[in-house]
Chains A and B, each alone.
Chain A
């Protein structure tokens, strides 16, 4: 008998594409949250596949902290141009200027938390009823309990103890006006799956993921980029070394990895050998044991 099976990447791909089409079918104004990181790049790639030869039926939304790596912005603009995709930018700087949020100060100041307000404002302003995100269940323990279709109330809040049961591949996106959903099509992917898929599909990623020379300093065991707005403690010395990003987020909380990996093969080998999770370098998660859960309840990504 003929063998009918898909490898694990094709099966995950089929599942994610199914979820993306459910979003397009069940919601009136969906949007894809694009950060410029590998997970959201995969979401864009899967979206192209889900609807081709039609265009992606939703805009890309970038919540810009103003503290992004330059390469991220260049990459974002180039991708949108190539796909003829609509880009909507929500600016954290504007939220600060409007007095909606107050900039944190001190050594560990980060705009990461402020993004939640800008994100919720952007969702409300454009009346988005579904925001597609690149969250994965293997990333963090609070994310391990997340649904594919995750309901948010009229304040954008997540109620982890009262989530809708999700069985088979039947997704319940019913809601009342003012509520919205966060949708996580790559819930079941691991970091390794993401890299293998990027390799298999030959997907373009920002150069930040490959080894490059950069001015960095060490804080609490994490290498951070010495961007102009970063406040250093007196004993923190800047060094120029070869690093790469394992995740890409706001500069203030993106830990860099010392690495010589300059190809996808190298990166895959590096991930296979590593003994630290990718969020191990995320200063935002180290604030407390339930840091992610607390942020998510308020409406974070």
Chain B
């Protein structure tokens, strides 16, 4: 595999990347929690803190408002709310972290969905005083809909319930009962006080009854290398490489990012849609040759036989072919202020393929607060989630989103103004 040069400072060698999402509003203590993770991992710089202090005083706040660190747009600072997804970065010697920080209210469902789409883990914040609320249901539902592999439930503000074990246990039991109805694989719980710092980075002395790790310990140690699908080999062709140079005159390679499974030199493969079979000749990236490629590597694959292949095609294994079809059901989140047009036509993007589609039917709409199905309302507007039937102009090569988050995802584009209006998870 890859030989890496050693850093003189060992601390930065072999770090993994973990992407996680947080959803919540100011009242949940979300900004306090993020501020503490950043501050305690020394990722807030003096000039940033100085700027935030100045801005807090200007606004007449009594304490330093750490949300000003993430709320980057003028409108957000003026209104004191997070509108968009903000990405924050910090690192410990073990891992580099990307936080997709999203607002938590129902009118920002689309932002939560966006932040969740690339996350390995979701932090769900629950106020220990209030227990599980509609908002916790919604956040957990979105995490399960977007198939975030790991959920960390932080029972926050434990200092305000005297660090009582019973309060924590009750919330934990309630949550487990509720999560059993959803497709969540890995749920962990941690009692914290973001404000006081209990169990965030430092282990709390106030809760000796809690034997698990701190939030930071959990984030550093969640096993993420099996989050990718390593079974079903999928290579959507992104770009054809044909060098116009004498020394590589005969070279023809297919550039792309492995979306599932593994590809080895010598593997028998099939190309969709043509159905031709051939053998993997080489796997390269620049001057490096690989024996094997796996997700999420970006490589160039060359094949033994000369087959007509272009962008949007998919290289797979003969004995493990994805679904191929034009009638597709998706769970869709509508992202636009213009309502969805039933029987309307939209452009569609799926892996590296482009197509068009017709919205044929709304099977049901989801009430994101109660998770109940609404059967008699086919009007879909901004932030609404529904099960939809599509007919595409050409066959797509797809897996269910549950099996593969890359080959199971699509976006819908309004052809009048080119904006992304809907996002879908193939059922």
Q: Taking beta carbons and an 8 Å cutoff, which residues of A are in contact with B?
A: 3-8, 10-15, 17-18, 21-22, 24-25, 48-55, 137-138, 140-145, 160-161, 163-170, 172, 174-176, 187-188, 190, 192-193, 196, 199-200, 202, 265, 268-269, 272, 274-277, 280, 289-290, 293
Q: Could you say which residues of chain A place their CB within 8 Å of the CB of B410? A: 170
Q: Could you say which residues of chain A place their CB within 8 Å of the CB of B255? A: 21, 50-51
Minimum CB distance partner of A274 in chain B: B45
Nearest 4 CB-CB pairs, A to B?
A: A141-B72, A5-B225, A167-B117, A174-B418
In the complex, what's the smallest C-beta–C-beta distance from A161 to chain B, in angstroms?
6
Contact of B74 among A5, A7, A290 (CB under 8 A): A290
Are B2's CB and A10's CB within 8 A? yes
Q: In the complex the two chains form, what is the Cα distance from A6 to B295 in whole Å?
A: 9
Given contacts A168-B118, A280-B47, contact A7 B14 (CB under 8 A): yes
Minimum CB distance partner of B253 in chain A: A53
Q: Could you say which residues of chain B place their CB within 8 Å of the CB of A175? A: 418
Given contacts A8-B95, A199-B7, contact A172 B409 (CB under 8 A): no
Given contacts A52-B287, A289-B55, contact A166 B114 (CB under 8 A): yes
B387 at the interface (CB under 8 A from A): no
Q: In the complex the two chains form, what is the Cα distance from A8 to B423 in whole Å?
A: 28
B183 at the interface (CB under 8 A from A): no
Are B352's CB and A25's CB within 8 A? yes
Q: In the complex the two chains form, what is the Cα distance from A169 to B352 in whole Å?
A: 10
Minimum CB distance partner of B335 in chain A: A165
Contact of A165 among B242, B257, B423 (CB under 8 A): B423
Q: In the complex the two chains form, what is the Cα distance from A140 to B48 in whole Å?
A: 10
Minimum CB distance partner of B17 in chain A: A8
Q: Could you say which residues of chain A place their CB within 8 Å of the CB of B224? A: 5
Q: In the complex the two chains form, what is the Cα distance from A169 to B423 in whole Å?
A: 12
In the complex, what's the smallest C-beta–C-beta distance from B219 to chain A, in angstroms?
14
Q: In the complex the two chains form, what is the Cα distance from A59 to B423 in whole Å?
A: 34
Q: In the complex the two chains form, what is the Cα distance from A3 to B228 in whole Å?
A: 12
Q: List 5 A-B contacts (CB under 8 A).
A: A51-B255, A53-B251, A54-B243, A165-B110, A165-B114
Are A196's CB and B7's CB within 8 A? yes
Q: In the complex the two chains form, what is the Cα distance from A254 to B55 in whole Å?
A: 25
The number of chain B residues touching the other chain, given as a range, is: 35 or more
Q: Could you say which residues of chain A place their CB within 8 Å of the CB of B13? A: 7
Number of A-B pairs, beta carbon distance below 8 Å? 199
Binds A, one of B83-91, B158-166, B206-214: B83-91
Are A14's CB and B239's CB within 8 A? no
Minimum CB distance partner of A195 in chain B: B12
Q: In the complex the two chains form, what is the Cα distance from A8 to B120 in whole Å?
A: 14
In the complex, what's the smallest C-beta–C-beta distance from B170 to chain A, in angstroms?
36
In the complex, what's the smallest C-beta–C-beta distance from B73 to chain A, in angstroms?
5
Q: In the complex the two chains form, what is the Cα distance from A17 to B239 in whole Å?
A: 11
Contact of A8 among B47, B77, B96, B113 (CB under 8 A): B96
Q: In the complex the two chains form, what is the Cα distance from A51 to B46 in whole Å?
A: 40
Are A160's CB and B73's CB within 8 A? yes
B70 at the interface (CB under 8 A from A): yes
In the complex, what's the smallest C-beta–C-beta distance from B13 to chain A, in angstroms?
8
Q: In the complex the two chains form, what is the Cα distance from A134 to B349 in whole Å?
A: 26
Are B47's CB and A276's CB within 8 A? yes
Contact of A49 among B89, B113, B286 (CB under 8 A): B286
In the complex, what's the smallest C-beta–C-beta distance from A58 to chain B, in angstroms?
13
Q: In the complex the two chains form, what is the Cα distance from A175 to B242 in whole Å?
A: 27
Are B225's CB and A164's CB within 8 A? no
Are B347's CB and A174's CB within 8 A? yes
B5 at the interface (CB under 8 A from A): yes
Q: In the complex the two chains form, what is the Cα distance from A131 to B2 in whole Å?
A: 32
B241 at the interface (CB under 8 A from A): yes
Q: In the complex the two chains form, what is the Cα distance from A165 to B112 in whole Å?
A: 11
Q: Could you say which residues of chain B place their CB within 8 Å of the CB of A25? A: 238-239, 311, 352
In the complex, what's the smallest C-beta–C-beta distance from A259 to chain B, in angstroms?
17
B389 at the interface (CB under 8 A from A): no
Are B296's CB and A167's CB within 8 A? no
Q: Could you say which residues of chain B place their CB within 8 Å of the CB of A289? A: 51, 55, 74, 77
Q: Could you say which residues of chain A place their CB within 8 Å of the CB of B238? A: 18, 21-22, 25
In the complex, what's the smallest C-beta–C-beta distance from A295 to chain B, in angstroms?
12
B184 at the interface (CB under 8 A from A): no
Given contacts A169-B406, A170-B409, contact A4 B228 (CB under 8 A): yes
B98 at the interface (CB under 8 A from A): yes
Are A54's CB and B311's CB within 8 A? no
Task: Give per-residue flags for B311-322: 1 if the beta carbon is below 8 A from chain A beta carbons, else 0.
Answer: 100000000000
Task: Give per-residue flags for B103-128: 1 if the beta carbon is below 8 A from chain A beta carbons, else 0.
Answer: 00000001001100110000000000
